[in-house]
Each structure stands twice: as structure tokens, then as C-alpha cells.
């Protein structure tokens, strides 16, 4: 058993580190390495993912990027790396046309919207194809557009050889199909005639969904005998609930965001609803109503939504976990016929107004989250924007988190100290992080390695470093004394 003096020493050291540091670990988040980004680029205003490839839109503003762009990243054995920056040589594309406002990717093809292109904001959508590591604009035609469109490209999606483009200022949405590398002229989906139909769109094989937050509706469509026909409509909420602000679809499941929904009397807390299509019918039934477990007023959970398989990602860009409107995203998982909350995702480098969660995308193993108003790691590059990749692992898997609350802090240190060398049979809840049923210096080292300071109100890095130093010093002392005891 550990001597009383040594035990009190360890407790004091850990408590001091906790008091000074106050570290947190919310989730494993990786920042994508943007190339040549500058002030005003608004990178992360749109994101999407397909397999090991991510695309990030930035509507432009600085460092020569005045018309907008989209950057592509791939994951390999070295991690996430930049692959290409997508731009076009369209003489008609002008500053402020907002190329990059919307992006989508599927396999080796990507589509980028520029909804303000043209003198009357007619809009365009550009398709790119990848050959090896090289991305090139589609050969035929150079871009997609539609007669009578307005705001064309406000939202886009791609699935195989089809592209869906929203044109909400014309109250329309169009599907384009590719055959032998050539895109057709497109067909308009049957419009319900509501204002701003086409605000949000999503496509998966022969199914499509179009959101319209002005009437709190989402409209489903299916390809039937070569024609796109209605596949049902879902309505939810009223007034300014903005159900349909964002939509996504994967197979027979869809998710619809309602960022202005009041939840339990909390104004504009927001929600997202997952629908499942009943086999052989045009009936979409509610599978789950998702809300933020820690939601607050005006956080607008549901301002971005994405679904892939059994995972859903929901953005709340006005959440304030570490400052005013720093933003957050939430991960949910479908298991045993129930959608359950997995974790809340924030980033340590967030500052006021970054709006992390403005855009989200869901892949099979990771999610992508945009923070379009990020001001750079040091806060000196206004609105450069950023995009991040996060895993789906539950927070309880975070090493050092004994009480499974998503934080590695003084509470976990106290648990570890209380069970220090108390004998066998110890579990994670007792501070045994390496699974050897003993709480010892190996577990202390794991806790120390994962101890990080919470995002501070003001940048004061010294206390965090001091707290970690104290913790490591305690580990070294205990290790040395344990070795001396064994030598006796």
C-alpha cells in the first residue's frame, strides 16, 4: 500500500495541477491544412466528404482569392494533406459571385456553386473531375446553368452521375445527369410553388430532398421510369422555426434541420429530425428528433446537418462553449434501433464569432466541420476561415477521462489519487486507463499526456504549462520512489 505521506503528496500535486490548469478534452479534432489562405476568404462556409477526400469552399476576399475557390484534401498514411485548389477560367465569373458558397463531392467528381454569378445573380455550378492527383473542370459543358434560374448554385449535391442544384430565388431545383462524360441540360424537380424552394438540397441515388425553411417543409422526390416525381412531404413547426434550413440524405434516411425551433421553452435552441423511408412507399416517418443535450437559447442547433450510414452530425454555429458564438457540433449514432448522442465537438483555438459548425459533412468514419469566420490561430487573420475533421469515437474513450464527462481535469485526477495502488480489480472508473486492473504511475502518465487547458477567455498559456509541469513532476517523483521501494 502507498504510504500516507506519498499519497498526500500525490493528491496535493494533482490538485495543484487541476487548480492551475483546468484542462479539457472535448474530442479529437484535426485542422485541415489550407493553402494560401488570407483574410476574408471565409474558408469552411461549405464542406463535404467522400471516402478519404474532403472539399472545403471559401467565397473569397483576400490573398488574391477574390472570386472564391474550393480546396481539396485527402487522407493517407501521413494524415490529411492538401491536394488541389479548384478555380475556373470563366471570364464571366466576377468578384463577389461567391464561387465556393456551396460544394459537394462524390468519388472523383466535385461540384461548386457560384449563386451570384451573372448580372442578375442567375448563378452557375461548376463540375470538376479528378485524374490521379489532378483536378480539372468538366469538359462538357464547362458549367451547369438553367434558363430562368436565379440564385442557381445556392446549394448543390452530387451522387454518381447526377448533380442536384438549388435555385431558390426562382423557387426551383434542377437535376443534371451525365452520360459518357457529357452533362445534359437538366430537368426541374416538380415545384410546390413555395417561395425559396431550393434553399437546401441533397441527393442520394434515385432519391432527393429539397428544404424550404420559409414554409417549414422538406420535399422528397424519386426517379421513377426516367422521371422525377414527388415522394412525399414532411412539415414541422411554424413561423420562424426554419425547418428545412438544411437537409441531407443517405439511402433511405434523411435529416432536416430546424435551427429556429424552440425546445422545451428554450428560444431558438434548434433541432434536427431524422426520417426513414418506409419500404415500397412514399412515406417518410420520424426516426428521431435530435436536440443538443446542453442546448441554450439562440444557439441554433440544426443550422447545419449531415448523415452517413448510422452517424449524423449537427452544427450549432451560435453555441458559446468557450466564448460568444464560438460554435459547436454534435455527433449522434444509430445503434439497436435508437439514435443516441455521442459527443459534443469544439476546438481549443476558437474565438468569439468563429461560428464553428456553420457547415458540416458526415463520412463513414469521420465528420467535417467548417468555421467560416475563424480569425486564425493567433487571431490576426480576420475571417480567414477553417475546416476540421473529427472522429466519431465516444468521449468515454478519451484516455484519462475517468468519470466519462468529456473532460480530463481535477475530477479525474482526484479519482486516480483515491484509488492509487489500492490493489487489483480496478476499472476505468477507478482510474485504470491501461486495463491492467491497477491504478499506478502508468495511468498517471496517461492522464498527464492527455491533460490540456480549456480554451481561456484570454490567451494566458503559462498557467496551463505550469499545471502540466506540476503533474509530470509528481509522476516522476512517484516513479522514482516506486523504483527505490522495489530495490529495497
User: What are the tens digits of pLDDT across the range 127-142?
Assistant: 999 999 999 998 767 7
Contacts of 101 (CB under 8 A, 6+ apart): 45, 46, 57, 59, 68, 113, 114, 115, 116, 153, 154
Question: Which residues fall within 8 angstroms of residue 398, CB to CB, at 6 or more apart?
Answer: 25, 406, 408, 450
CATH topology of domain 29-392: Methylamine Dehydrogenase; Chain H (2.130.10)
**Facing residues of 140 across strands?**
182
Prediction pTM value: 0.79
pLDDT for position 140:
65
DSSP 96: T
Position 65 scores a pLDDT of 65
- Which has the closest alpha carbon to 2: 478, 424, 421? 421
For residue 259, what is its C-alpha cell?
435551427
Q: Rounded to whole angstroms, how far apart are CA atoms 156 and 58?
A: 15
Q: How many CA atoms lie within 13 A of 90 on its CB side?
A: 26
Residue boundaries of the structural domains of the chain? 4-24+400-487, 29-392
Contact 358, 301 (CB under 8 A): no
DSSP secondary structure letters along 39-52: TT--BTSEEEEETT
CA 439, 441, 442, 443 dihedral sign is positive
Greatest CA separation for the chain = 88
* CA torsion angle 147 246 455 418 (round to 10): -150
Cell numbers given for 362: 458526415
Residues of the chain with pLDDT under 50: 1-2, 5-6, 8-25, 453-467, 470, 477
| Cβ-contact 383, 370 below 8 angstroms | no
Beta bridge partners of 156: 165
Read off the pLDDT of residues 318-351 as tens digits, 9 standing for 90 and up. 998 888 899 999 999 999 999 999 999 999 887 8
Q: How far apart are CA 206 and CA 44, in angstroms?
A: 28
Amino acid at each position: 500500500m502507498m504510504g500516507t505521506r506519498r499519497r498526500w503528496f500525490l493528491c496535493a500535486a494533482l490538485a495543484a495541477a487541476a487548480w492551475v490548469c483546468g484542462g479539457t478534452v472535448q474530442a479529437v479534432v484535426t485542422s485541415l491544412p489550407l493553402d494560401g489562405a488570407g483574410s476574408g476568404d471565409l474558408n469552411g462556409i461549405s464542406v463535404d466528404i467522400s471516402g478519404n477526400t474532403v472539399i472545403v469552399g471559401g467565397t473569397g476576399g483576400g490573398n488574391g482569392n477574390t472570386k472564391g475557390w474550393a480546396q481539396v484534401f485527402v487522407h493517407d498514411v501521413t494524415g490529411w494533406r492538401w491536394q488541389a485548389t479548384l478555380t475556373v477560367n470563366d471570364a464571366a465569373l466576377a468578384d463577389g459571385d461567391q464561387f465556393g458558397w456551396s460544394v459537394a463531392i462524390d468519388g472523383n467528381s466535385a461540384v461548386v456553386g457560384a449563386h451570384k454569378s451573372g448580372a442578375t445573380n442567375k448563378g452557375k455550378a461548376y463540375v470538376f473531375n479528378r485524374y490521379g492527383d489532378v483536378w480539372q473542370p468538366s469538359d462538357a459543358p464547362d458549367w451547369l446553368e438553367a434558363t430562368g434560374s436565379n440564385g442557381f448554385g445556392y446549394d448543390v449535391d452530387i451522387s454518381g452521375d447526377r448533380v442536384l442544384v438549388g435555385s431558390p430565388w426562382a423557387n426551383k431545383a434542377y437535376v443534371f445527369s451525365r452520360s459518357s462524360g457529357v452533362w445534359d441540360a437538366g430537368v426541374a424537380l416538380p415545384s410546390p410553388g413555395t417561395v425559396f424552394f431550393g434553399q437546401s438540397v441533397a441527393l442520394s441515388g434515385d432519391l432527393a430532398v429539397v428544404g424550404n425553411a420559409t414554409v417549414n417543409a422538406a420535399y422528397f422526390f424519386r426517379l421513377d421510369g426516367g422521371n422525377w416525381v414527388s415522394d412525399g412531404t414532411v412539415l414541422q413547426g411554424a413561423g420562424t422555426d426554419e425547418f428545412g434550413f438544411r437537409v441531407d440524405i443517405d439511402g433511405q434516411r434523411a435529416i432536416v434541420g430546424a435551427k429556429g425551433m424552440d425546445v422545451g421553452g428554450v428560444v431558438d435552441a434548434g433541432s434536427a429530425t431524422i426520417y426513414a423511408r418506409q419500404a415500397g412507399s412514399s412515406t417518410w416517418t420520424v426516426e428521431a428528433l435530435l436536440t443538443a443535450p446542453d442546448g441554450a437559447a439562440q444557439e441554433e442547433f440544426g443550422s447545419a446537418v449531415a448523415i452517413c450510414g448510422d452517424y449524423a452530425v449537427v452544427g450549432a454555429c451560435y453555441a458559446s462553449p468557450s466564448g460568444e458564438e464560438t460554435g459547436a457540433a454534435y455527433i449522434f449514432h444509430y445503434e439497436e434501433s435508437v439514435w443516441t448522442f455521442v459527443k459534443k465537438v469544439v476546438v481549443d483555438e476558437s474565438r468569439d464569432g468563429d461560428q464553428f459548425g456553420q457547415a458540416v459533412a458526415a463520412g463513414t468514419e469521420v465528420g467535417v466541420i467548417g468555421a467560416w469566420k475563424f480569425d486564425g490561430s493567433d487571431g490576426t487573420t480576420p475571417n480567414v476561415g477553417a475546416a476540421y475533421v473529427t472522429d466519431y469515437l465516444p468521449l468515454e474513450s478519451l484516455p484519462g477521462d475517468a468519470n466519462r464527462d468529456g473532460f480530463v481535469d481535477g475530477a479525474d485526477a482526484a479519482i486516480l489519487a483515491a484509488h492509487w495502488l489500492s490493489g487489483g480489480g480496478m476499472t476505468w472508473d477507478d482510474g485504470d486507463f491501461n486495463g491492467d486492473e491497477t491504478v499506478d504511475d502508468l495511468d498517471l502518465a496517461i492522464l498527464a499526456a492527455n491533460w490540456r487547458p480549456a480554451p481561456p477567455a484570454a490567451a494566458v498559456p503559462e498557467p496551463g504549462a505550469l499545471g502540466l509541469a506540476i503533474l509530470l513532476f509528481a509522476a516522476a517523483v512517484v516513479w522514482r520512489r516506486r523504483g527505490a521501494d522495489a530495490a529495497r
